[in-house]
Structures are given as C-alpha cells and as structure tokens.
Amino acid sequence: MTRYAYYPGCSLETMAASYHVSSMEVARKLGVELEELEDWNCCGATAYSKVDELLATVLCARNLAIAEKRGLDIVAPCNACFKNLWTTNAAMKRDADLADHMNYALEADDLRYDGKVEVSHIMNVFVTDEALASIRQKAGERIKGLRVAPYYGCQIVRPRRPGVELAQADNPTYFEALLEAAGADPVAYPYKVRCCGAALMVTNRRAAVQMLRDLLQSAVDAGAEVIATACPLCQINLECYQREVNRAYGTNYAVPILYFTQLLGLALGVGVKRLGIGKELVSADAVLKRPCAATAPTGA
C-alpha cells in the first residue's frame, strides 16, 4: 500500500468538497492511502506571490516541513497548490541561503525542512503503469464510450518540470490514458492546457468569461459530453460561470463539469452520492442517464 501525505487545499473543504470525497473513494479502490497532512495551511494561490515572494515561500515551506516530519511525500489535488508546493520545494533544494532563511522562520513552529519530500499532483498517483493496469482490470461499463474532454489546466503542466519536453507540456497524454483505462472515450481538442481564466474571474471578469467561452466551445466542437478537470478552480470557473458565458455570448452551453476522480469513481463502481455527484450547478444527468450507456456505439 502506498501512503502519501494528502494536502487537500482550502477549496476541497468547501466549494470542491466533491473532489475531496471522490479522491478518497478512488484512492481506496486503488490501494493508495491518503493521510491528511496535519494542520496544513493555505498554499497562497496566486495572491501571496503578488504581495511578497518570501511570504509565499515560507507558507509553503511549513507544509513541506510537516510532511517531512511525518516521513511522507505530498500529493495535492489542486493545480495551484501543487505548483506552489513544487516550486517552493525546488527553490529550497537548490538555494541553501533561502533554505537557511526559511528554516529560521520554521523554528517558530518547531519545524525544519531538509528537502526530503517529493511533491506530486494527485493525478500522477493514478497514472502509473501499475495504477492504469489496476483501473483497466477493475473498471465496469459505467462510463464506457463516454466522450470526455480531459482538461488539464495550466499549472499541472507549467512551469515545466525538469525532464519534461516542451512537446509533452504542450500536448500531455496521461489524462487521456487514464480515461481510456476507465473505459471512456477522450476527445482531442486544442484547448486542453489553455487557461480557464483562474482568478481573473474575480479581478477581470470580461477576460475570464471570454477565456471560458473559448474553452467550452473547443470542447463542444470536439463532441465532448462532459469536461473532466483536475483542479478545483478550473471546475468552479467552468461550471459556476457557464451561465455568465451564455449571457455574454448568447450561447447555450450546458456541459457538465466533473472532477476526473468522479468519473474514475463511477468506472470503479463507487456510488453516485459517495462521489459527491449531485452538488453541481450544471446537472450531470447527461453523464449519469445515458441511454444504454454500456452498449451505445461511439458517436451515438
């Protein structure tokens, strides 16, 4: 059994609670143990870095130090949390002065960080060869042939981690592999790593709404019945502001936006309620009530 320090991040306690419960269900099915990081604090999203760089670093350093004390590597389900924790980890490992400075601060919480922790996005845990084989073996017919647009978002692939080629960051394929293993039919569309608008939804609404429109149109053009996300902010923007896009552009999108763990959970036979399905503002009925889901030919 693989065990990780699970860093849920603030959104998963509230707006994205279904991402939390579905991650837990899928992990259990696949023999991955997620132990919530003790007394974790906010990663800072994009706001701290806009105010002060050391502030952004010290707050992530605390989470890394708590995981190190527990002797576990971190997984984070949110793209922004993942990127912030990853970036701070890399900076502290390469910059001894910065690490000293951070350790001086960490003393105030009886902590110390020596760079022994690895940080991964939770999706990485479910796309290893072993996990994919297990998914293939355990997946039922529930999402067979479902046309899913895999939406990676930004910070899961950017900034590019060492050893990743630009072509891979531009056109990653592990999300597709995961959906295929679960029986779904991932659609190819050009916007899978383009930004959803992120916090611009608050700070520059017109910009974010346009970015969302482009993204929704791209997925719909490719024939997607549902968009799967790997980040709470992407999910919230795409779902909660779909009406706003429709109002601004005279469109009539009604695309369900689910977390990839919810679709994976369905494939693995977890009940709808246990996956937090039913809390959407855009109904997921298109996914749940497909006519003869198991036998429908692709394109039906």
Partner 1 sequence: MVVTSTARTISFREEVENLLHAEEGVSLVRCVQCATCSAACPAVEFMDHTPRELIGLINAGMKDEVMASNTFWTCASCYACSEKCPEGIRPADLMYALTRYSLWKDTFNRDWVAPEFSRRFTRTILRTGKSYEPGYAPAFIFEGGFPGMVREMRMAVRLLGKGRLPLIPSRIKRIRNLRAMVARVLPLDGIE
Among 164, 150, 161, 244, which residue's Cα sits nearest to residue 197?
Answer: 244
Q: Quick one: 169 or 293, whose CB is closer to partner 1?
A: 169
* 259 neighbors 18 (Cβ within 8 angstroms): yes
How far the first Cα of the chain sits from its last, in Å, is: 40
Q: Quick one: 54 or 294, whose CB is closer to partner 1?
A: 54
Q: Quick one: 146 or 257, whose CB is closer to partner 1?
A: 257
Is 259 in a helix, a strand, or coil? strand
Read off φ and ψ for residue 245, nearest 5 degrees: -65, -45
Among 275, 278, 284, 233, which residue's Cα sits nearest to residue 257?
Answer: 284
Among 237, 187, 247, 249, which residue's Cα sits nearest to residue 208?
Answer: 237
CA–CA separation, 143 vs 250, rounded Å? 31
Among 237, 168, 175, which residue's Cα sits nearest to residue 201?
Answer: 237
Shortest distance, position 270 Cβ to partner 1, whole Å: 19
Q: Quick one: 3 or 94, whose CB is closer to partner 1?
A: 94
Shortest distance, position 141 Cβ to partner 1, whole Å: 28
Per-residue CA distances from 29 to 10, 95, 137, 177, 244 (Å): 25, 39, 12, 18, 37
Shortest distance, position 136 Cβ to partner 1, whole Å: 32
CA-based torsion, 42, 43, 44, 46: positive or negative: negative
Q: Quick one: 59 or 177, whose CB is closer to partner 1?
A: 59
Read off φ and ψ for residue 18, nearest 5 degrees: -70, -25
Shortest distance, position 132 Cβ to partner 1, whole Å: 27
Q: Quick one: 47 or 296, whose CB is closer to partner 1?
A: 47
Q: Quick one: 72 or 195, whose CB is closer to partner 1?
A: 195
* 226 neighbors 263 (Cβ within 8 angstroms): yes
Shortest distance, position 269 Cβ to partner 1, whole Å: 24
Q: Quick one: 135 or 236, whose CB is closer to partner 1?
A: 236
Shortest distance, position 144 Cβ to partner 1, whole Å: 28
Per-residue CA distances from 77 to 36, 102, 121, 217 (Å): 12, 25, 6, 26
Interacting residues with partner 1 (CB under 8 A): 10-11, 13-15, 17, 39-42, 44-55, 57-59, 62, 91, 95, 98, 101-102, 104-110, 154-155, 158-160, 166, 169-170, 194-195, 197-200, 202-208, 210-211, 214, 240, 244, 279-281
Shortest distance, position 235 Cβ to partner 1, whole Å: 11
| CA 56, chain centre distance (Å) | 21
